Amino acid sequence: MNTNIQIELEKVKRELKIRSYSPKTLKSYVYALEKYFNYKKFNYNLLNLEDIRNFLLLCEQKGASAQSRNIFLSAIKFYYYNIVGCRQKINIKTAKENKSLPVVLSRKEIAHIIESITNSKHRLLIEIAYGGGLRVSEVISLRVKDIDPDELTIHIKQSKGQKDRITLVPKKVVFDLQKLIALKDQNDYVFESERGGKLSTRTAQKIFENALIKSGIKKDATFHCLRHSFATHLLENGVDVRYVQELLGHNNIRTTQIYTHVTNPNLRNIQSPL
């Protein structure tokens, strides 16, 4: 890597860490800016709106999604505003993202997935993730002290957006959960790897993927679909969307309201004219 690029990227990393941005955001911004600096070649700190527009156009031509291009733009803005200290406004609008509905698994499909897992610890991981609407990063980061089996609550700490929230422990898993954590210390991870320590994101995803295949479900589902299904099923049960928003930790209720389109009972009651 070009030494000058490396110097600029180190400045970005330092500033992101000072501001407590998540490791995922840090990785995304550094990746985006490395691409941008390589495109620009020199004078990285000189703001030129046409350079930015042409870079984003090139990304689009190479097949980068609207979401990826918007991350690139956010990273570039962060660099010029917070590292270079530019006052000039970067008046470039974000790309319009596709508003596709989330993939949701039915209650029966969730049951099939859980039943297909023979490893009790792996099965419990999937049950906790679905039953509390957890992201994969949240479920693998759970420590014993974060769970209150008596109150049926999980305290999610410093998750996406550096926020804490309280979510649910399914009553039906309490016995298995207490059995798993009985001999653990309060600071131990609930789901440890074979060698001890935190389970990897990829391992948790693989547990879900294998269970999906084994259950014979053909939907294009990922681990995150457990969270989508949690939200959708709560809304189907009549839980107020504002409570679902709190359980998911969404900043904006519009993010939660997308699930109302998946679960709209009025649409299901309409019969086709054919």
Task: Select which of 44, 130, 189, 259 is catalytic.
Answer: 259
- The Cα–Cα gap between 162 and 246 comes to 15
What order of strands is seen across the sheet that includes strand 147-148? Answer: 147-148, 153-156, 165-168
Which amino acid, 154? I
Catalytic annotation present for 39: no
E strand residue ranges, the chain:
147-148, 153-156, 165-168
Please confirm, yes or no, whether 254 is among the known catalytic residues.
Answer: no
Structure tokens at 48: 């030129």
Q: Which amino acid, one-letter code, is at 250? A: H
Residue 228 appears among annotated catalytic residues = no
Q: Annotated catalytic residue: which of 13, 157, 165, 224?
A: 224
The CA dihedral of 244, 249, 254, 259, to the nearest 10 degrees, is -50
d(CA 155, CA 190): 13
Q: Is 220 helix (H, G, I), strand (E, B) or coil?
A: coil
Strand partners, 166: 155
Calculate the alpha carbon distances from 46 to 69, 71, 249 in Å. Answer: 20, 20, 38
Choice among 35, 122, 227, 228 that is catalytic: 227
Residue 198 bears catalytic tag: no
Q: Determine whether 112 is an active site residue.
A: no
Return d(Cα 55, Cα 71) in angstroms, integer: 13
Which of 112, 160, 184, 214 is flagged as catalytic? Answer: 160
Which residue in 135, 189, 228, 233 is the catalytic one?
135
- Say if CB 173 and CB 154 are below 8 A apart: no
Q: Which two three-digit tokens encode residue 220?
A: 């294009």
Three-state DSSP class for residue 163? coil
Choose the catalytic residue: 40, 122, 233, 250.
Answer: 250
Query: Active-site residue 160, yes or no?
Result: yes
Crossing angle of helices 241-248 and 225-236, rounded to 10°: 160
Which residue, 40, 31, 38, is CA-closest to 13? 31
Q: Which residues are catalytic?
A: 135, 160, 224, 227, 250, 259
